[in-house]
Amino acid sequence: MNELDIEAVADPDLRDPVLVEGLPGVGHVGKLAADHLVEEKESELVRRVYSEHLPPQVSVSDDGTTELACAEIHAVELEDRDLLVLTGDHQASDNAGHYRLTGAFLDAAESFEVETVYALGGVPTGELMDEYAVVGAATDADFVAELEDAGVEFREDEPAGGIVGTSGLLLGLGERRGLRATCLMGETSGYLVDPKSARAVLEVLEDVLGFEVNFDSLEERAEEMEDVANKIQEMENQQSGMPSDENLRYIG
């Protein structure tokens, strides 16, 4: 295997495609959102990206067969246009790998003449929440204005520390290639896998890209997570009256 290996699974003609990325991250918001699009809409796997910069492992399916760690790009059919949706179970395992994998993702997207990139993710608030704002950042001021019209919030000093990993580099490296790119980050506690935050991000995407998606399965998942959160809060209340970071850290 080479350091990076892009396997071309299919080469459909796509209508004005944009790249949507949802790899694991804060609250798994981006991953939940991207996986939801692939599951709910007509979709077709078009690329697999293998790399030495992904963890050295195979996953095991329910039927006992294995699959080498990879990132996948799916063509997703919307009402008026198509998406390329980047999904997977892993971020790169080292710094240079983040740069090289993101470069490979952009190469694949550009082979489908993508000009715009939507990186999806979460921004941690540190507290359980009822309403989910979507915070944004983008490569240029026009894109910022356009997303503000769709309800995305742009806040000074947020996210503090910038945007790291694949999402950040899709903007940083994308801009250097002349692409427009944004990162849409749903607010989330940071403690739990957060389907409600994923829905908030997808609703922005619906508005901006002009499509509709059914949220039933995401709502079911959200209710399951709420049950988990409530149980934890109950246990906590019996003890100290407040959920602690320690106990809630990443349950999902």
Residues at the site binding a copy of itself, with contacts judged by CB under 8 A: 1, 3, 50, 52-53, 55-60, 62-69, 92-96, 98-100, 102-103, 136-141, 144, 154, 156-159, 161-166, 168-169, 171-173, 175-176, 183
Side chain identity at 7, as an amino acid letter?
A: E
Contact yes or no for 183/136 (Cβ under 8 A): yes
Burial class of residue 207 in the structure, from the number of CB atoms within 10 Å of its CB (0-12 exposed, 13-18 middle, 19+ buried): middle
First to last CA, the chain: 34
Q: How far apart are CA 173 and CA 166, in angstroms?
A: 10
3 or 220: whose CB is closer to a copy of itself? 3
152 or 248: whose CB is closer to a copy of itself? 152
Residues 6+ apart with CB under 8 A from 136: 144, 147, 148, 152, 153, 154, 182, 183, 184, 185
14 or 188: whose CB is closer to a copy of itself? 188
The distance from CA 41 to its chain's CA centroid, rounded to whole angstroms, is 16
Shortest gap between Cβ of 156 and a copy of itself (angstroms)?
5
Shortest gap between Cβ of 7 and a copy of itself (angstroms)?
9
Shortest gap between Cβ of 74 and a copy of itself (angstroms)?
20
Assigned token pair, 186: 């749903």
Buried b (16+ CB within 10 A) or exposed e, 34-62: bbbbbebbebeebbbbbbebbeeeeeeee
Shortest gap between Cβ of 62 and a copy of itself (angstroms)?
5
Residues 6+ apart with CB under 8 A from 213: 36, 37, 40, 41, 202, 206
82 or 187: whose CB is closer to a copy of itself? 187
56 or 241: whose CB is closer to a copy of itself? 56
169 or 205: whose CB is closer to a copy of itself? 169
Shortest gap between Cβ of 24 and a copy of itself (angstroms)?
13
Shortest gap between Cβ of 144 and a copy of itself (angstroms)?
4
128 or 133: whose CB is closer to a copy of itself? 133
Shortest gap between Cβ of 226 and a copy of itself (angstroms)?
23
